[in-house]
């Protein structure tokens, strides 16, 4: 698959003016996937200018017609699902069955957004004055800067692009430099589906490219998914510049297991949530808050399952866990092993790179379980973003919820219990944006809002009808057909 790729600006595949490029390698094998442009400020400016130029015609296109293009794109994505999924696995490492799920989520989101082309409801309401009509409607912001991470290189771009497009915005899309291939494949499909030139523009590159895009005056809104540190920098800039900003910034999620839980089910959920995508999900369960009576047996079973996972190249259907995305990611996880030991935690399994059978060629880290973990330890507070989870004991539901809520993030919590009253009390008191009962922490559906509290974001939500609130603003319209000046509250 080695080749040279181009930016997509104004409907044309365009080489970078900077003449700079970067290589992306397969994290399981080290083999080069391709050479991609490292877009500079001039390239970004051209992309934004193309989006600005296309906006008036695009927002004037009836929403059902915009939706038809997205529907065609979804049909093409469905037909090419296996090809898209293999591209995901090759560039960021998740196992093929998960990559197929990534592609399916992108397809689902595209179909869902296409459906909004015939809804996108506003409101009508009675006026307080006679012979006067009152309503509110949605209107697009303008040019959206969509900056996406590598861990869901198809799904998350579609979470952003499809609602933005169906509501009449134009987009400049900058994917992570760790997942450029899937972005290229997605843009090819949008182009073939008939998206007009300039409506979506694609620029490849790293942090400097992203910074240039955020700072472009023509950008009306920035939608960013990534780290808390970068998100705060973007929020600070957008605040000064008066730009709208939508942030999704990570999680330190927990599975609460009470002593009346179905333990078999809880173990299944824990393994999938902690080690799926090698723990590289913002929804990964990096904490297991387990009631004391169950802690020992739960930990033994979790460790046994972790040790049994088959590691390797995600293209092999027998493999259950692939590599982490890059060498820096691998080194960060290794640093947290030392941090955990220094804090007094014990590694019950894993704790180092995977070796043997050629595994050392890739960025593979053993599934790791920490025990003897206290809630305020760094490993229990900070996002490690790898196949690492902690077991923290609690005495009862109240303590479990308190531990769960006492972290900088607030994305998702899962609770396993067979007692309905405990489930409802937990749902009331848990302060994360998503709560699962008797299911793991991963498995969001595209027709419901996705997002979190505290450091996880800034209040906006992806997916569902909530996405329309991110990518539109309200316009209130009054139509007075009384034939005289009415002064609202003064006339009353």
- DSSP labels for 128-145? SSTTEEEEEEEEE-SEEE
Compute the residue count for the chain: 492
Q: What are the C-alpha distances in Å from 119 to residues 114, 319, 474? A: 10, 42, 15
**Whole-number Å distance between alpha carbons of 400 and 100:** 35
By 3-state DSSP, what share of the chain in percent is helix, strand and coil, each rounded to 5? 40, 20, 35
**Catalytic option among 91, 248, 383, 462:** 248
Catalytic residue list contains 394:
no
Active-site entry in 25, 116, 216, 282: 282
β-pair partners for 193: none
Assess whether 282 carries a catalytic annotation: yes
CA distances from 95 to 90, 102, 278, 393 (A): 9, 11, 9, 32
Distances (CA, A) of 186 to 68, 73, 79, 156, 190: 17, 9, 13, 12, 6
Phi, psi (rounded to 5 degrees) for 439:
-150, 160
For residue 80, give the DSSP letter.
T
432 within 8 A of 413, measured Cβ to Cβ: yes
* Backbone dihedral angles phi then psi of residue 358, each to the nearest 5 degrees: 80, 5
Q: Give CA–CA dist 234/226, Å, rounded.
A: 11
Rounded to whole angstroms, the Cα distance separating 289 from 29 reads: 36
List residues with catalytic annotation: 248, 282
């Amino acid at each position: 698959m080695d080749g040279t790729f181009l930016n997509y600006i104004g409907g044309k595949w365009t080489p970078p003016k900077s003449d700079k490029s970067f290589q992306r390698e397969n994290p399981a094998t080290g083999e080069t996937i391709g050479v991609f442009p490292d877009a500079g400020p001039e390239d970004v400016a051209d992309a934004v200018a193309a989006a600005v130029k296309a906006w008036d015609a695009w927002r004037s296109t009836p929403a059902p017609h915009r939706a038809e293009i997205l529907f065609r794109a979804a049909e093409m994505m469905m037909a090419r699902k296996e090809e898209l999924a293999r591209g995901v696995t090759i560039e960021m490492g998740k196992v093929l069955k998960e990559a197929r799920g990534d592609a399916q989520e992108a397809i689902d989101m595209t179909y869902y957004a296409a459906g909004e082309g015939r809804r996108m409801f506003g409101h009508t309401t009675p006026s307080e004055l006679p012979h006067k009509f009152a309503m509110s409607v949605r209107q697009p912001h303008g040019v959206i800067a969509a900056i996406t991470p590598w861990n869901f290189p198809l799904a998350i771009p579609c979470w952003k692009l499809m609602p933005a497009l169906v509501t009449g915005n134009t987009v400049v899309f900058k994917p992570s430099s760790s997942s450029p291939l899937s972005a290229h494949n997605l843009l090819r499909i949008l182009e073939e589906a008939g998206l007009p030139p300039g409506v979506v523009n694609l620029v490849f590159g790293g942090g400097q490219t992203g910074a240039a895009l955020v700072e472009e005056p023509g950008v009306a809104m920035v939608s960013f998914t990534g780290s808390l540190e970068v998100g705060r920098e973007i929020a600070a800039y957008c605040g000064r510049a008066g730009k709208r900003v939508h942030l999704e910034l990570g999680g330190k999620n927990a599975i609460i297991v009470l002593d009346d839980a179905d333990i078999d089910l809880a173990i299944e959920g824990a393994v999938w949530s902690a080690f799926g995508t090698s723990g590289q999900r913002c929804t990964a369960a990096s904490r297991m808050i387990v009631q004391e009576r169950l802690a020992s047996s739960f930990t033994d079973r979790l460790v046994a399952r972790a040790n049994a996972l088959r590691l390797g190249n995600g293209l092999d259907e027998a493999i259950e866990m692939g590599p982490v995305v890059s060498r820096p990611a691998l080194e960060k996880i290794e640093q947290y092993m030392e941090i955990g030991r220094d804090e007094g935690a014990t590694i019950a399994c894993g704790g180092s790179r995977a070796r043997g059978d050629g595994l050392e060629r890739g960025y593979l880290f053993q599934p790791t379980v920490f025990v003897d973990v206290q809630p305020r330890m760094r490993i229990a507070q900070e996002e490690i973003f790898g196949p690492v989870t902690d077991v923290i004991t609690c005495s009862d539901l109240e303590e479990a919820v308190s531990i769960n809520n006492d972290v900088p993030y607030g994305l998702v919590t899962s609770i396993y219990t067979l007692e309905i009253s405990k489930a409802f009390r937990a749902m009331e008191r848990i302060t994360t944006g998503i709560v699962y009962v008797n299911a793991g922490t991963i498995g969001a559906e595209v027709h419901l809002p996705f997002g979190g509290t505290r450091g996880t974001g800034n209040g906006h939500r992806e997916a569902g009808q909530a996405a329309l609130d991110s990518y539109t603003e309200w316009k209130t319209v009054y139509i007075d057909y009384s034939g005289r000046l009415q002064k609202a509250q003064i006339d009353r």
